[in-house]
């Protein structure tokens, strides 16, 4: 005979687990929005300028190749020569490494070099950007633990072509695929490893909410590395790419393998009119 108190205890444990999961997702959302709103987060992007070979002057004066919203009229010069970039400010010059924390400071602005394919650009971050000033928060689907799925991970290392919004395609390291059941459908997602030594898998996916309730180009998602052949994919943590918030990002687009034939009603909804 089952004790009367056992079902009550089990129900209590289940409710506590659900409350704990909800608290986890709510904290994730707070952290996510704090990152967006930070002085150097994606909302701080205020410009993207592609360099040409030779001298690229920057400052607030209209005659510069890179016209800035703050700082001196003629603040300095980026020199691009044979795939190397140097910056000169105040009479001193030094090399700048693309896609690093190296920054040229101009007034309240930070200027970074990025490299996409064979193109070099200057990314401008402004802690008083229009996007930051006008940020009104992110909308989400209701938290639903059914969208936290355990997937079987199949090791199948290869390169997958990843197209970005600039129209460039580059090969990315894909260690295999995650196979799972959701809403009665057997699905697969192919993650990539962004940099050697990463401790997480990165997914770029499109689903049947894309272009409707969610950002048209798709959404991003991370998971831990496989453990005993299993990965946990939590679509409640699916989020908009930077391109949903700023025209100055260079986001990757979902590979064809990651275009899911189902609605993923979890995670972030589209931002504004994007």
- Kindly list the domain boundaries of the chain, sorted by start residue: 1-37, 44-133, 137-258
- The sign one gets for the Cα dihedral 135, 139, 145, 147 is negative
- DSSP class of residue 237? G
Which residue shows structure tokens 């790419």? 241
Please state, in angstroms and rounded to a whole number, the distance separating the CA atoms of residues 150 and 231.
6
Cα–Cα distance measured from residue 251 to residue 215, given in angstroms and rounded to the nearest whole number:
12
Question: pLDDT digits over 60-99, tens only?
Answer: 999 999 999 999 999 999 999 999 999 999 888 999 999 9
Chain CA centroid to CA 152, Å: 25
pLDDT grade for 138, boundaries at 50, 70 and 90 = very high
Q: Give pLDDT, residue 140.
A: 98
Structure pTM?
A: 0.88
Was domain 44-133 assigned CATH 3.60.15.10? no
Whether 17 has a pLDDT exceeding 70, the answer reads no
Tokens representing 96 are 């700048």
Residue with tokens 């799925």: 149
Distance of alpha carbon 187 from alpha carbon 102, whole angstroms: 41
């Amino acid at each position: 005979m089952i004790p009367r108190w056992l079902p009550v205890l089990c129900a209590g444990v289940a409710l506590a687990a659900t409350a704990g999961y909800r608290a986890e997702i709510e904290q994730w959302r707070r952290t996510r929005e704090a990152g967006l709103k930070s002085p150097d987060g994606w909302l701080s992007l205020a410009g993207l300028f592609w360099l040409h070979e030779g001298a690229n002057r920057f400052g607030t004066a209209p005659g510069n190749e890179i016209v800035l919203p703050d700082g001196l009229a003629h603040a300095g010069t980026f020199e691009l020569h044979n795939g190397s970039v140097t910056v000169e400010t105040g009479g001193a010059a030094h090399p700048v490494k693309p896609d690093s924390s190296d920054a040229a400071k101009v007034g309240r602005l930070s200027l970074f070099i990025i490299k996409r394919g064979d193109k070099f650009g200057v990314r401008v971050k402004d802690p008083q950007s229009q996007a930051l000033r006008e940020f009104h928060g992110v909308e989400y689907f209701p938290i639903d633990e059914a969208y936290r799925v355990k997937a079987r991970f199949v090791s199948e290392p290869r390169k997958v072509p990843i197209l970005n919004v600039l129209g460039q395609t580059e090969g990315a390291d894909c260690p295999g695929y995650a196979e799972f059941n959701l809403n009665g459908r057997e699905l697969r997602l192919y993650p990539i490893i962004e940099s050697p030594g990463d401790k997480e898998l990165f997914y770029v996916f499109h689903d049947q909410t894309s272009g409707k309730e969610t950002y048209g180009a798709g959404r991003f998602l991370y998971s831990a590395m496989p453990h005993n052949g299993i990965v946990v994919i939590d679509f409640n943590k699916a989020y908009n790419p930077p391109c949903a918030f700023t025209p100055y990002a260079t986001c990757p687009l979902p590979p064809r393998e990651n275009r899911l034939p189902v609605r993923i009603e979890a995670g972030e909804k589209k931002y504004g009119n994007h």
